[in-house]
Structure 1
Amino acid sequence: MRRIGAGFAVLAGLAGTPALAHEGHQHLTPAAAPASESPFLAENEAAMAKMMEGMAVHPTGNIDRDFVAMMTPHHQGAMDMAVIYLRHGGNEQLRRLAQEIVVTQQQEIAAMQLALGLAPPPSAPAPTQALPFPRDRTDPVKHRLLATVCLGGSLLSAGAWAGQAPDRPVSHQDRVYAAEQFSNTVSVTDPASNTLLGVIRLGDPQPGNLSPLYHGQVLVHGMGFSPDHRTLAVVSIGSNSVTFIDTKMNAVKHTTYVGRAPHEAFFTPDGSEVWVTVRGEDYVSVLDANTYEEKTRIRVPAGPGMTIFSPDGAYGYVCSSFNPETVVIATGSHEIVGRVKQQSPFCPNIAATPDGTQVWMTLKDVGRTMVFNARPPFNILHTMETGPITNHVNFAHTARGSFA
């Protein structure tokens, strides 16, 4: 976990003498800085002032609560400063670090809140206790699965992929599945009533999952679903696993362990294979969708972030989170048949248009989105500036037209 800011030296002086926080430190002020740096420094000064004001809490006599009360604005200050750097800074390595600071500090705020038995921030998933499911479970073949992933996840409409009308009104037969990294659970929601139906527990929240005897999953994250809607594949980054869930019973039916830090797992359109991007390694792990065992590995540039398939199943597009290259793989032969140059080495997400003509990918560290031809020669069609921390892309069709 990364820390930036005043650190524990500030904490020691908060209760009695807040002024000591700046003692011995010289800060560049906007007035003394070059004109080109003045906006950056002005925003940072404001963020630091907000952080220091928030950390100057009145002692309550409860060390645990006072610690969290001081550390929460401290972490928020780190996030604010990281976002400011993303607006102004140009070093690609520092931009990637700043993005990580935003994520990790947010996670730690939620972990501290949960440690005290408090509700986590609104941006963090809330359920940490298993809830009972209703007895009249809906047949997954008859409803649409709307699978979401919290903390940087994509919305996937199984109805549209299965040939059902994507603009069909949401009903009580639809389901939203949300994978939650803090509680290591998958929550199931009725989107028509916005009601939490139950929670599938894959692991325990901290500190329980830090035990050397712990057997559950850690950092439950990415999800994909089978074409017949009967199975969810849930990736857990920290425990290097893919958990397969029966959507009719909302129960785990198998867990497969793969390489270091897998990121996403998706079924091929014909439902025969599950491709897992193993971001901490240099390959895609291909699992048999019937046995859930690994059948082969496809070597790709190190740090594969995500695989998406063309609607007809002919190609798999694998972007990289560590190298500036996306590869196109023939799904039948598992051979690389095309390469696309990324404008940065950090692509977290990729999506194919429903008509199968284009592939869109986000570049998180430089705030851009690239579009390339989904068919040979896989040439780049367009690049757009979409802002700091551009994370995920997906498609929607409305009365006004189609949008990304």
Structure 2
Amino acid sequence: MAIQIPRGTQDILPGEVEKWNYIEGVAKSICQNYQYQEIRTPIFEHTELFQKGVGDTTDIVQKEMYTFKDRGDRSLTLRPEGTASVARSFIEHKMFGNPNQPVKLFYNGPMFRYERPQAGRFRQFVQFGVEALGSEDPAIDAEVISLAMDIYKQLGLKNLKLVINSLGDKESRIAHREALINHFKPRIHEFCSDCQNRLEKNPLRILDCKKDRDHELMKTAPSILDYLNESSKAYFEQVLSYLDSIDVEYEVDATLVRGLDYYYHTAFEIMSNAEGFGAITTLCGGGRYNGLVQEMGGPETPGIGFAFSVERLIAALKAEHIELPVEYDVDCYVVSIGDEAKSTAFKLLHDLRTAGFSAEKDYLNRKVKAQFKSADRLQSKFVAVLGEDEIKQNKVNLKNMQTGDQIELPLDTFVEEFKKLAY
């Protein structure tokens, strides 16, 4: 029996991977315009990092992590998200001492979560994210949100909805926490075991529960917006004012939460409203995490970031029937006729590639007609024909595959002459 791919993973084949490269290229280019620099962290880290950095009460840590012991009996985990690794690197390499602050980073790479595979969700998935560490300015919150929206818009998505909320500062969070406990406690036995465990540890996580989301107490739960102190209200109003100034549309949603203790102030999600996209509409999630670096052993450092799944982005593009401007064609296909012409054709092929052109030739000893068919399948713009006669006469027959026009070019200066035609 043939070995098959593990459940929840996928092969990204030629013809599709070019779309991924294009998307990642657009995202990286926009990050660079915003002065965010790329960081690459290990695919696996010490398990403790994610227990601290993601949170013991989260589904990710409790149910979804790929954790294993290495030969030194150390507990390691395949990274389920990127923020914790970035924060660890920020501390370990003392980036808080960099003269340029805030430290603005982006990452792109595979993440791993053991969850039920479904449309747009995989056990190995690619996540693109940004983190801005070192600033408490509401403007950086608006910048991070704007950056995420710019990526989606530049790729052509139109059916987008930005949802935003404030979780307040520590004082506001404590007041809201007590209100949530008092609200849910009398009837907590009606909720799932996860919610019952969360009541005292992290009641905000109850609002994130998928099993009990239709319970009547969910609809009447105390809103964080009613518990914001004056400074938290002012911070949130400033963030919204910055978004208004750059014409970023948003919807304030008091039910949007980030259930970790170190999340404060701004929380946001970007959703797709495209018809047929599916029940799970979230494309991107982010927020401010002022206590994360300190929780992991670093100095008190404010931060904000977001992350999105490239798989879900591709699904949104398909839902809106957006074709990315990806080129698959070949600049020049070199056809050789006869054994004598093979070595000359191979050298010409190499010269074309060295000059920066996409070029190909036949490697199956096919007839001339079959070679031209191969060039046509590869959508080659030109075909260069070399036979014994051409070599003797120091020339190459060049055919424009779009117009059908044919010309002769000197063999020894072919590449230079071809540049004039191709450009």
Identify the TM-score tier after normalising by the shorter chain: under 0.3
* Higher share of residues assigned strand: 1
> Structure 1 length as normaliser, TM-score?
0.23
Query: Of the two structures, which has the highest relative contact order with CA contacts closer than 8 Å and spacing of 6 or more?
Result: 2
**Structure with larger Rg:** 2
